[in-house]
Structure 1
Amino acid sequence: MADSPRLLRLQAGTLRLDVAPDAGGSIARFEGTWDRGGRQGRVDWLRPASEQGLARRNPLAMASFPLVPFCNRIRDGRASFEGRDIRMPPNHPGDPSSPHPLHGIGWLRPWTVTLAGGHHASLRLEEPASAAWPWRFAAEQHLELTDQALRVTMTVTNHDTAAMPVGIGHHPYFPHPPGTRLTSPAAAMWMGDSQVMPTTLEANDVVARLREGVVLADLDLDNNFVGWEHRTLVEWPLDQHGPRRSLVMEAHPPLDYFVLYCPRGYDHFCAEPVSQCTDWLNLLPHYGRGPLGGARLAPGETLEARFTLAPRWE
């Protein structure tokens, strides 16, 4: 087994963040301490990276990882944009046979540390053009930890000579003990086929339940949501991990969409702030940008996205 990658540690008040630049620029751990009635303990606000995952530098075993220059999947890795063809091979570390590459490029590359301090860390990725993604670009992540929240700012800059399509986001894994509730208002949900590729857009019962708040164990989803109101509330009950607690994830445009991955029976789920939906480039001619998102960056142009994770005790 390979040695575990280096970790950058940020600390502020009761919160602690570990970042793994060599494992796709991922967050490896986001945790806090609690003190109630003389009892003390630690709680993970995100699912912590496993030792094996760290040793293998596997982003899918991390607490969260960046999504750039696109989010979710592209059908068969094939799309075209303004005269350039994307020919991306399968890239799923756990399922090499999956024909639909996912999550972009940044999550599978080591990132360069450009700043590391007590409360701040900055990472950078430079990516040349290739057949898989025929545009040269750079991406950055700025992570700031306060005693109240984690703030993440991401940018992607087009360093090519032609306009580039782009999506941006992050992929947090949250603990899912029994009784976890989620409230996440949105307008509609993309229904998917057996390969988790979008087929139709619906304002259905799931959308209504998420708006009011739902026990996650009642859902079994891997779907994109449109018209997200930029706020998701996660609530955890009193349990062996600690007192009643919650976390608010808030984002700003262009993170106007979110993905909810909550397979029944799993001990974690994902609620991902993203700027575009699955296979947006291939679906744009049929549905337009509104239900799909995504951006067009001219040469030299930069797209910025921001979100926060704010834990709180009840």
Structure 2
Amino acid sequence: MAQDFIELTAGELRLGLSPTVGGSIAHFSREWREAGALRRTHWLRPATVQSMLSGEPLGMGSFPLVPFCNRIRNGSAMFAGREIRMRPNHPGSDSPHPLHGIGWQRPWRTAAASNTQATLQLAVEADAQWPWSFSASQTFNLSTNALTVSMAVTNRDTVPMPAGIGHHPYFPRDDRTRITVRTRAMWEGDQDVLPVALSTHEAVARLAGGTAVADLVLDNNFTGWGREAYIEWSDDANGPARSLVMRAQAPLDFFVLYSPSRADHFCAEPVSQCTDWVNLRAEHSAADLGGASLAPGETLVAEFALLPRWS
């Protein structure tokens, strides 16, 4: 079933999906009437018209991360006797480290859609870059007070496959936007944003106590995540004071915070493995790296929810 855009509605909440643009979320918003006027506020950064027309996932509200999350150093790794040789895939950068997996740059198929639920599917054949065949799915359930996303990736090959899974939400931000997240440690990165050492960086304590997003300039993985992040926005032209809880289930035990300087957005990502985990396995424990080895026919499942609140 080919479908370019899907709109789900539940109460005042709206969810827009773009299956052909990497199986992405185009918008997640609240729409209501106030003093006779239609108003709208966004929980995720809405996709731009240009991104929709050009099919650019980096301009969407969120996109899936399969079959790995974040970067692989130089696109090279060995696993179960097979070699990963991925080419760089960031359209706006000359970095040699491919990122975000494969699913975000492939069109997904709409398997089912109703007013409040949609399921997208993807099938990928093995090639020289990723030498395993796999399939993936996303199911979006919208209620009057929550968006729940269920994900799965299945090894369709004949030997074990490394697997990671997650999502890449972009949240709107201004100088007053705050975030509270409890974690155990942070992976400090090198100049290419690849992890080199675990530390109890000051950001761990600041996030646990709640902090303005603008006060942190980070692009880092965190371990020991409590699987919950709390985001707050003050009242502004787009609506009253509001908040959102992002709540995840295992194996989404890792958290990525991307907070660029002076930006109008930030990313708070629930993921199942840290960056470059396939190349760090010999030096670090599974508790610090995450990641999965899927036997032929085995499926990795994950779920997270976005729960908005407003006054």
TM-score class, shorter-chain normalisation, is over 0.9
- Cα 1:251–1:88 change in 2 (3 A) is same
Selected match of 2:138 from 115, 138, 141: 141
Aligned residue number for residue 58 of structure 1: 56
Q: 1:23 aligns with which of 21, 24, 41?
A: 21
Whole-angstrom CA distance in 1 between matches of 2:28 and 2:189: 31
Moved over 4 A (4+): 34-40
Conserved in 2, the CA contact under 8 Å of 1:24 and 1:66?
A: yes
Cα displacement (A) at 1:241: 1.1
2:174 alignment partner in structure 1: 177
Aligned equivalent of 1:284:
281
Count of residue pairs brought into register by the alignment: 309
In structure 2, how many angstroms separate the alpha carbons of the residues matched to 1:100 and 1:93? 12
**Which residue in 2 is equivalent to 1:249?**
246
> Taking structure 2 as the reference length, what is the TM-score of the superposition?
0.97
Residue number among 78, 81, 85 corresponding to 1:80 in the alignment: 78
Secondary structure in structure 2 of the residue aligned to 1:121: strand
**1:296 aligned to 2:293?**
yes
Give the Å deviation of 1:154.
0.3
- In 2, the alpha carbon distance for the partners of 1:43 and 1:311 equals 11
Amino acid at match of 1:240: A
CA contact (8 A) 2:253 2:271 kept: yes
RMSD, aligned α-carbons: 1.2
* Pick aligned residue for 1:112 from 109, 113, 118: 109
How many angstroms does 1:34 deviate by? Answer: 4.7
- Separation of aligned partners in 2, 1:198 and 1:277: 8
**What TM-score results when the alignment is normalised by the length of structure 1?**
0.96
1:275 to 2:272 alignment: yes
Structure 1 runs not aligned, ≥5 long: none
Letter in 1 for 2:110: V
Q: 1:35 to 1:215 in 2, by over 3 A?
A: farther
Correspondence for 2:201 = 204
1:263 aligns with 2:239: no
State the 1:33 CA deviation: 2.5
Q: What is the identity, as a one-letter code, of the residue corresponding to 2:265?
A: H
Q: Distance in 2 between matches of 1:89 and 1:204?
A: 32
Deviates more, 1:38-47 or 1:199-208: 38-47
Q: For 1:55, give the aligned amino acid.
A: L
**2:257 & 2:44 partners in 1: Cα distance?**
15
The aligned amino acid for 1:92 is: H
Q: CA deviation at 1:6?
A: 2.0
Give percent identity, aligned residues only. Answer: 56
